[in-house]
Structures are given as C-alpha cells and as structure tokens.
Structure 1
C-alpha cells in the first residue's frame, strides 16, 4: 500500500532536525523553554506568528558572492479560513446563554478577529511578516538585488492569502518592478492541474494522497492519544470555567450541561482553535486565549501535542506521502541549475545570473513534506510521536510551532566562488542557517552535493502521475 502508516521509520522525522545538525541544541532549548510557559501563546501550533530564526550572519567565504536565491514560504498570518468554528461556538453560546450556563462575557470583541468578509485573507500582522522578510532578504543580498541585473520569478498558489503574501514580500524586497515576473496560479475548477500547480499544491493534486488523507488508517494513533490523555477529567477545569458547575436540580439546564460534557473535547478544541487564530492575527493572548489560564497548562499542552501528532502522521513523517513533494524538489533543482548555467561573466568577473531569485508562496502542507524529503537522518535521534510517549514529549523536536509557523520558509542561496568548489549552496530554515546532512556540517555546501540530493528526491510530471495514481482535478 503506497500510503501505509506501517512504513513509518523510527528516524523518519529526525528530518525535523531537518538535515540540520548545528542547530539541534538550539531547537531543543527553545522547545523546552516554551514548554515551561503557561501562556497559551506558547502552544498555538502552526498558527504561531513568524519570527526569523536568525538575523545576523557571518560573512560568506571571501571568494564567494550570491548569484541566486531559491525560496519557498508559507503565507503569513491570516484570518480564519472557515466559519465552521465560529458558527459552532456561537450556537453553543446561544444554547448555554438561554439556559444560564454561559459564564464567560459575550462582548462583541470576542469575534472581532473573525470578520466574515476576510475569511482566509492575510491579517495586517501577516502582511508585515512578509514585508519584513522581503526587506531582510534585500538587505542581506543588497548587491544582488540592487544591481539592476537579472530577473525575479514569483509564484503563488491560487489562494488569495498566498498571492497577498507574494505581493507583500515584493514590497519589502523593493526590487525594480520591471525585473519581476509573477505567476499566480488559478487552476480553473474541473481542469487537470498544471505542472506548476503541482509544484506548490502537490498535496491537492495527488489522488493516492487524497485517499489516504480522507481515510481513517492514520487517525488511530490520534484517537488513542485523545482517549488516553485528552479526556473529560483533563478538560473539566476549562469546561467549568465556560459553563460553571453542573446544576444539581434535574431539568433542561442539567441535561444541556451533561450534553456539553459529552462534547467537551469538541468544544474545547474549537475554543483552542479560535485562540490560535487570534494569537496569529493580533499577536496577543486575547479573549479566546483567556479561557485558558495557568491552571490549564497541562490541558493546552495536550491539545497542542494532539495537533502535532495529527500533522506528524497526516502530513509529515510517513514515507510515501512526503515523497509527493518531489515536484517542488524538481523546481528547486531546475532553477538552481539554470541560474548556474546562465551566469554572465565580464572580464573574468562574475556580474550576475539572468535569474537572481525564484520566490514561491504556498502553504504549511507544502513545507512539511518538502522539509521531510530534503534529508532524513540515518539514525534514531528522534523518537516518533505516539500516544504512548506523550509524557516524554516536552523535548520533542517535531513541534509545529517552532518548525512550521506562519510564513515558515526554506531558502537555498547559490554562490559563485573563485576557489573550489566553484558553486556552493547555503540553506536557511526560517532564516536560520542549517547544514544539510549530506554536507557533513558545511553551511556553504558544494552545489554538486545539493544537486545530487535534489535529483534523488525530484520527479518529472510523468513520474508524479505514476507515484500518485492520477492527478486530481482542481
């Protein structure tokens, strides 16, 4: 079976170390420190607002200068993509209020971060994330972007938040508009996806993955965890804060309270989801996050672990689903090779490449499997997320909040050098320098090594169809 959870390898998401040995200790410290914080903002998963991992860098080798930047980024912080959670909680609020059970205030501001006319669009905080990232790239590679030479390719998926992210990034980059070539994919409904569409939304185009995702085989571990660790006892304090103590007298209020108790996981997960969105949009622990207090640290860390566990199996570590990211690997390989081959030299001095940047804006579902196939480690440095090892999860490296926040990104910068190796690649994860495992600790890695890696994990359009069974219509 192509997408079988039995194929999970014990080390698979040691790739969360991501092919990066130098920053493992730093990641562990961040995770441990954050795990000790009681604030819900320390546990908002992949809706965590973006901050760069690194802003100051050592100078590259004296003989090397950047000639091309490859980037794939998730969109920035956004408003909620669906209104289901808002509708659900409003229904609960109405029912509980009519029965005198709703104990929280119901100020209109509680829904101010969920405007109906902005579902899925970037929030002001998300626009700032991308503008600032673009400005940092421009500043870090000032000679490359201010030279007036070379074109900049910009791709974004059909989702408005991705196109908004691309536009915000370009504003921050402040590059000459005549050099920028945009390709905002639309993929009309009912049509076969284009190959460019599959390079960024391969998860949507792969039929076998869609069947796997919609099935229930991968959900068994999540259900085991929830049954063992996220039960009524765990959620009782939050439920009492929302609905008060159980009414002692028989009647509709008591029956409704018991009904809510039976739905406690559903209700608290909705509150947690609204808290996550507010944290992303406003960057503060506002109304929905205030439902959780210091006494609920254990509860909210369990909710976060449940989400990480779900992503771990559904989108990350399982061997074959992650391989569907091969079109993106192919695009990185192609653009890097083209940039090298099209480098223009005058008088023996390297001036520029005809293509100086390839910028892509997509989704968390794009980044997770791509990160995985870049370079799984060959050891067992990482313990897989399971229902049974939750108690040891405080030091886990697979944590969505740290690895895949809003605007998470991977960059590969190609350098031309005067000394061998003549072409080198520097890789950044969320703007922090990392070393590909194949590079043996070298930050400025031989291009040939990186090309070999990308070639091994890339695919042609025909190979993608064979891998996925068929392409799903948009």
Structure 2
C-alpha cells in the first residue's frame, strides 16, 4: 500500500472532519422561513439546552487553559422609546378608531410587552443571565481539568452594564460549582482599548459619509415594502396619510418582533409579517453588519484591524500561561461589533469571506451565526505530560470549527506553534 505523505494526510483528516462535524455552510431562504427567529440576526437568542458532540482529544493530552471571548447575553431593545413610540401610535389610532382587528390585537400585545420592557432599554434580560450561566457550566463540565482548586481566572468586560452582568453571571456559576476558584472580575476603561477597539479609519468608513452608504441606502429602500403591513393594521387611509410613516413603523415592528425571543413575555409578532418581508429586512441588517463589522470586499478588510489588539491579548495571555506552566482561563465579555471582526481575523471557517455583490452577502455571511445573543469564541489548550507540544481547538458558539489557512495533522485540533505563527503574521501586516 502506498504511504500517504503529510500533505495528503492533512487533506484526508480535513475531509473526514468535514464529513462528520457540523459547519455553518450557506444560509438559504428556506432556513430563515423555517426558523423566523433567525431573521432577528444579532437578536437571535442563544439556544437553550445546548448539546454539541465533541471530537475526542488526542491520546495523552489534557486541557489546561481556555481563552474565551463572549458577547453579552439576551437583552431588551436599546431604548425604551423603541417600544413606546409604536405603542403610543397604536393607542392613538385605536382612540381614533383607525385600527383593523389585527391592529387592535397588535396594540394589546404590545401593551403587555411594555409591562416588562418599560425601564429596561439596553438591559440584560433574565434569559441573558441564564445563557451565560449555562455556557459556564458546560465549559466547566467539558474541561474540568482547567478548573482545579485554587486556579486563577481573569474575567474582564467592557464598561457597559449588560456586559458586566453577563460576566458576573458566568463567573458566579463557575464559583457555585467550585467555590475555591479565584476569579478576578474587572470592568474598566483600562481594557476598552482591546475589548472594544475601533480604528479611526473604520469609524470614518462606517459613517453615512462612507463610500458604501449610498448603495446600501438604495438596497434598504428596495427591500423595505411596508404597504401590505400598514394596510393590515390600519383601517383608515386618511389616518395613515396624516400620522403614519410606513417604513419606520415596519422597521420598528421588525425589531420588536425580533427581540421577543429574548424576553420573558411569551408573545410573538411574527404573524404580522410575511416570510419574504422578514427575510428582506434581515438581508438589509445583515448587509450593514457584513460591510461595517466584517470582511465584505466593500471595506477592503479594514474591520479586521479593529481586532488586532484583542488578538494580541489572546496570544500574550496564552503564552504567559504556557511559559509559567499554569492553568486557568481568560474570560472576555463585549459586543457583537467586537466578536464579528474577531471571528474574521481568527479566520474561523465561514467567518471571513470577502465578496462585493450585495444580493449574495447572505449566502457567504450570516450575522446570527457569528454573533447571536451570548455568542462566544473559545480556544481550548491541551498539553501532554513530558512534551512541549501544545494543541488547541477552536469553538464558535460551542461548535468545533476549523481555521482553514492553518494546516494540521490532528484536526479539529491544531499545534499551537502553527496557529501562533499564523496570527503573528497577521499582526505584522
């Protein structure tokens, strides 16, 4: 039998891994139609009761360190006004007998939602707390060797309260399981220069004066078709003419519908929309995030620069643990606009495609796959007694994922020296 050389062996291992392990693949309209919650994009709630099969660790290796970057958990809409102005408009229309039966029903539902939402604009929801507690527990149970007694763990978040509370929920669950853990929790402007960094070039590009915006504006305009929705809610055309701005109202109801999955109130607004309408609106949001946070060819790759500081922190933190023969974890908590470019610069599979045709954006990049509520990236480090070789495995939202530019003979595991060399080359660019 002819022996396989190393290159062929790598291709064989990659083929077997892709055959049996889940990868993201291309998003289809049917996927979005089947699960309308996904049209919420970054409002997609992290699945509960999460169970993902893991590839066995190579013989003799044990986990000793985890480098983590997480988005805050489920939250309410950013401002109370995002609910209130819609509620006030529907209340006024009801008073003027300008609502259809469906419109009155939507008003009654929104009034019930307001009972929970009032005063919570931008806040972490109870579901957001549960998500981070569950992720922490699964991490502990999957890699108990990392969390030995008296192990030191560093936890840092941005200064935004929902991130701080996400960090707190995560760390509290670890402490409940093992009270001896020594966890340092910090939320400070000192760490914003890598947890939530944006270059001046990136900020200038993403403004409405950026070269991408006019094409995007036309895309949004062509994909926002509110007439059917508005006529289904309002019975008086004169009232619509005088008091209703159709497009902003459609968008407001879309965001309310999208965020219901993150709240405790068990109501839905998806019945107000046709499936194509939801898909079209999601496509617009996905377009904007792909161009303004990810790797669309329209931005020339400048968004990955935003993640160089955190990538450097990941390398430095890992190498400090390795050099001191330590154990533990580094936990980081931030936002969707931070985890998206990080997934890109890490070159996680299906997270860094670069195309320029807007109608095809969703086929290569989907926001709900990168950054759902409580989305997270985990890099798990393994060592073997008597060996200096360190292996790492990457998880995106707790699913094993490949780093296609880096070769490996033990997929989905990688030799740290190879991964580190690749990332250092990116930092040097």
TM-score normalised to structure 1 length: 0.76
Taking the TM superposition and a 5 Å limit, the aligned residue runs for 1:210-249 are 210-217=203-210, 218-231=212-225, 235-244=226-235, 247=237
The whole-number CA distance in structure 2 between the counterparts of 1:226 and 1:432 is: 32
1:21–1:435: 8 Å Cα contact kept in structure 2? no
1:313-328 to 2 correspondences below 5 Å: 313-317=291-295, 318=299, 319-328=301-310
Kept in 1, the 8 Å contact 2:348–2:401? The answer is no
Structure 1 contact 74–367 (Cα < 8 Å) conserved: yes
Q: Distance in 1 between matches of 2:282 and 2:388?
A: 44
Work out the CA distance in 2 between the residues paired with 1:388 and 1:401: 17
1:75 equivalent to 2:47? Answer: no
CA contact (8 A) 1:374 1:457 kept: no
Shift in alpha-carbon separation, 1:30–1:303, aligned structure 2, 3 A = closer
Task: Give, in angstroms, the shift of residue 413 of structure 1.
Answer: 0.9
**Aligned residue in 2 for 1:208:** 201
1:265 to 247, 250, 253: 247
Closer, same or farther: CA 71–148 of 1 in aligned 2, 3 Å: same
Cα separation, 2, equivalents of 1:332 and 1:221: 36
| 1:399 maps to 2:366 | yes
Aligned counterparts of 1:374 and 1:167: Cα–Cα separation in 2:
26
Deviation at 1:420, TM superposition (A): 6.7
CA distance in 2 between partners of 1:22 and 1:313 (Å) = 31
Task: Describe the superposition over 1:202-241 as per-residue Cα deviations: whole angstroms up to 9, x where unpaired.
Answer: 03xx33333333333232232121233323xxx2221122
**1:198 matched residue in structure 2:** 193
State the distance in 1 between where 2:306 and 2:288 align. 18
Q: 1:167 to 1:219 in 2, by over 3 A?
A: same
Q: Does 1:184 align with 2:180?
A: no
How far 1:328 moved relative to its partner?
A: 0.5
What does residue 384 of structure 1 align with?
355
Q: What SS is found at the alignment partner of 1:176?
A: coil
After superposition, residues 48-87 of structure 1 pair within 5 angstroms as 48-51=44-47, 55-87=52-84
Which one of 135, 138, 142 corresponds to residue 136 of structure 1?
A: 138
The count of corresponding residues between Structure 1 and Structure 2 is 397
Unaligned runs of 5+ in 2: 1-16
1:111-122 equivalences in 2 (<5 Å): 111-116=114-119, 118-122=120-124
- How large is the RMSD of aligned CA atoms in angstroms? 2.9
Structure 2 distance, partners of 1:127, 1:87, is 25
Q: For residues 330 and 269 of structure 2, what CA distance do their matches in structure 1 show?
A: 39
1:22-57 superposed Cα distances (whole Å, 9 cap, x missing partner): 7997423775652232x6324211111102875221
Q: 1:438 to 1:28 in 2, by over 3 A?
A: closer
TM-score, normalised to structure 2, is 0.84
Q: Cα distance 1:98–1:200, how it changes in 2: closer, same or farther (>3 A)?
A: same
Distance in 1, Cα, partners of 2:281 & 2:94: 26
Does residue 308 (structure 1) correspond to residue 286 (structure 2)? The answer is: yes
Mark the CA change 1:208 to 1:42 in structure 2 (over 3 Å): closer, same or farther: closer
Q: What's the secondary structure of 1:437's corresponding residue?
A: coil
Give the structure, 1 or 2, with the largest relative contact order (CA under 8 Å, sep 6 or more): 1
Cα distance change of structure 1 residues 24 and 135 upon mapping to structure 2, 3 Å threshold: closer
Cross-structure match for 1:45 = 41
Q: Give 1:359 shift.
A: 0.4
With over 3 angstroms needed to count, the CA separation of the structure-2 counterparts of 1:223 and 1:130, relative to structure 1, is: same
Q: Alpha-carbon deviation of 1:362?
A: 0.7
* Alpha-carbon distance between aligned partners in 2 of 1:437 and 1:419, rounded to the nearest angstrom: 29
What secondary structure sits across from 1:120 in the alignment?
coil
Asked whether the equivalents of residues 393 and 414 of structure 2 are also in contact (C-alpha less than 8 Å), the reply is yes
1:23·1:434 contact (CA, 8 Å) conserved in 2? no
Aligned equivalent of 2:390: 423
**2:428 is equivalent to residue 434 of structure 1:** no
The CA distance in 2 between the partners of 1:50 and 1:137, in whole Å, is 15
Structure-1 residue corresponding to 2:25: 28
The Cα shift of 1:177 comes to 5.3
Is the aligned partner of 1:370 residue 2:342? yes
Using a 3 Å threshold, how does the CA distance of structure 1 residues 160 and 50 change in structure 2: closer, same or farther?
A: same
Match of 1:28, SS state, is coil
In structure 1, list runs of 5 or more residues that go unmatched. Answer: 1-19, 188-193, 248-253, 344-352, 464-474
Q: Deviation at 1:419?
A: 7.8
Match in the other structure for 2:159: 158
SS of the residue 1:223 aligns to: helix
Q: Which whole-Å CA distance do the structure 1 matches of 2:157 and 2:240 have between them?
A: 47
